Amino acid sequence: MPPEADPNTHRSDADRALLERARGLAGERAARSLRLSGAAALWLRAGDDPALMVLARPGDPVLDRFDGTVADGGDGLRLLVGGTTPGNAAALRAELPNLRPVPLGLATSAGFGDRLGLATPGHALALERTGAAGMVAPVFAQQSIREMTRTRRAPQEVVDDATWGAFAAGWRLPVGADADHQKTADDVRACLAAGFTLFTVDPGEHVDDAAERADAAELRARLERLPWRELEDDWEGLKRRLLGAPLDLGDRELAISEEELTRAAVKYGAAIAHTLSLYRVLAASGAPFELELSVDETAYPTTLPEHAYVAAELRRLGVAVVSLAPRFVGRFEKGVDFRPDATGDLATLAATLEGHAAIARSMGPYKLSLHSGSDKFSVYPIIAELTGGLVHLKTAGTSYLEALRAIASIDPALFREILDFARGRYDTDKASYHDSAQVAKVPGASSLKDSDLAGLLEDFDARQVLHCTFGSVLTADDGTKFRPRFYAALQRDEEVYYNVLEKHMKRHVSPFITK
C-alpha cells in the first residue's frame, strides 16, 4: 500500500511532538493504524478490548466529534478513549474520508466477504504485501442478506466492522461496500441507510429455468405471460431490435436466432423487470451507488445469446450495471477450485469466457463478476487475461475457513467441537448451496491428532462441510455454544489469523495485478 508522505514534513514543532507522543502511546501493535487528521492523531487500540484513541491539543474540535472519555494525554495534550460504536464509526468515516465506502467504477476489484467482522486487516495486508493495493480496488464490507441472517448481523454492523478493520490496517485508499444478493426493496433501503454503495441484485427467483427444456408451444405460452408492461416492450419490438442483424461485439459478431431469443426472454425477462424495480429504488434515493446483476445461482449456464439479451435490455431500460455475474459452465462450488461437469471443463470455460468478456466490453462496458470466486485458482489467470482487468472477484466463505485454520492452532479443542458439530449439520445446511461434499469422507475429531487438524482445510469434502455450516456454528445455542470462544481465540491471537488470511488471500489477488 503506498505510504503517506512523511507526516513530519512541513509540520510545526508542536505537531511533531504530538505525533511522537501518539506513537509512544499507541505502541507497536497499534502503530499500523496511526493516522493524522489536522492537528490530531487517531489510532485503534489493539487487543481483545479495542478502542478508538484520539490525541489532540485542548480545545481541538476533533475531541467533540467522538463519544468517549477525555483525560490527560501528557505533554499538555488531551486523550480521548472511545468505544468502537456505530456513532464513532460514522464520525471516523467523516474524519478519514477514504474509509467511507464509494462506488469503485470499472477498476479491477475484489470483494472480501467477512462473516466474522474480524478479517479486514488480513485482507488489507494481502493487498499491500502483494503489491495489489492501488491495482485491485477492495470491497471490504461485503455480505448478503442470507449471510447476515445466518450470522445475525445487521447491515450497519457489516459496514462498521469493515471501517474499524480498514482503520486498524492503516488502509489509505478508497473502499467499496457490497450489499450482496439483494432481492427486496426493503433490504435495499436498509443497506442504503447503512452506507453500502454496491448493490448486487439477485433475481434468481424470477429466472425461469424451465425455458431451457420447454417445447415450442410451452415457450410461446410462457413468452405471452412475461411482464411486458413492466418491461415497457412487446415481442415484436424485441425481435426488431435483436434479430435484424448480428450484434457487433468489436472483435466478433453474435447472431441470435429467433428460438434463442425466445428462450432468453422467457428465462430472463421477469428477472430484468425485477432488477429494474430495485434499480429505481436505488436511483430514487439520491445516494451514490452502482449495481451488479447476478444470475450465477441458476440451474443452467448463461449462454452468449442470453447474456447479450440481458445486456441489451438493461441498456434499453436505462439500468446501468458496473458488473454482471453470469452462470458460467462447470461447477463453481464454495471454497474449492473449479470443477468440470457435463456443462464444460476449463477449456470450455475459457472459450465461453472470451465471448462473455466481449459482450461486457461492447454492450457496457461493465465488469464480469466471478461469484463463488473463493479458491478458484485455476480460473483467475484465465479471466484476468480475457477480460483485460474488467473483472470483479467475489469471495466470502474462504475467510471463515481461514479463521478455522487459525483456530486449529490456537484452540484445537474448540476446532474439534466445531468439526463434529459441522458434520452433523451439513446435510441440513447445504440446501441453499451448490455443493457436492460427502460428509462420510470427513473424519470425526476423535480420529485425528492435533497436528492433523489444519490439514482438513486442504481437503475438498472437509472444506465444504466446514464452510456450509458457518451460520449454524455461529448461532448454535443462540450464539452461546461456540461464538464467544471463537471470537475470543481470534482476538487473543489476532496476528495468527491475519497471517494465515494474508497468505491465503495473496493467492486470490496476485493473478489480477497488472504487470
List the catalytic residues.
Answer: 180, 292
Q: Establish whether the linkage from the previous residue to 365 is cis, with ω within 30° of 0.
A: yes
The one-letter code for the residue type at 15 is: D
Residue 473 and residue 455: Cα distance in Å, rounded?
A: 20
465-485 in b/e form (b: 16+ CB < 10 A) is bbbbbbbbbbbbeeeebbbeb
Helix, strand, or coil (residue 136)? coil
Q: What are phi and psi of 293, to 5 degrees?
A: -110, 130
Residue 383 and residue 197: Cα distance in Å, rounded?
A: 25
Half-sphere exposure of 5 (CA within 13 A, CB side): 4
Residue 242 and residue 307: Cα distance in Å, rounded?
A: 12
The one-letter code for the residue type at 301 is: P
Could you tell me if 34 and 8 are in contact, meaning their C-beta atoms sit under 8 angstroms apart? no
Q: Which three cell numbers stand for residue 275?
A: 432488477
Neighbouring-strand partners of residue 159: none
Could you tell me if 428 and 389 are in contact, meaning their C-beta atoms sit under 8 angstroms apart? no
Residue 111 and residue 369: Cα distance in Å, rounded?
A: 10
Q: What are phi and psi of 73, to 5 degrees?
A: -100, 5
What residues contact 263, with CB distance under 8 A and at least 6 apart? 211, 212, 214, 219, 306
The DSSP symbol for 65 reads S
How far is C-alpha 260 from the chain's CA centre?
Answer: 33
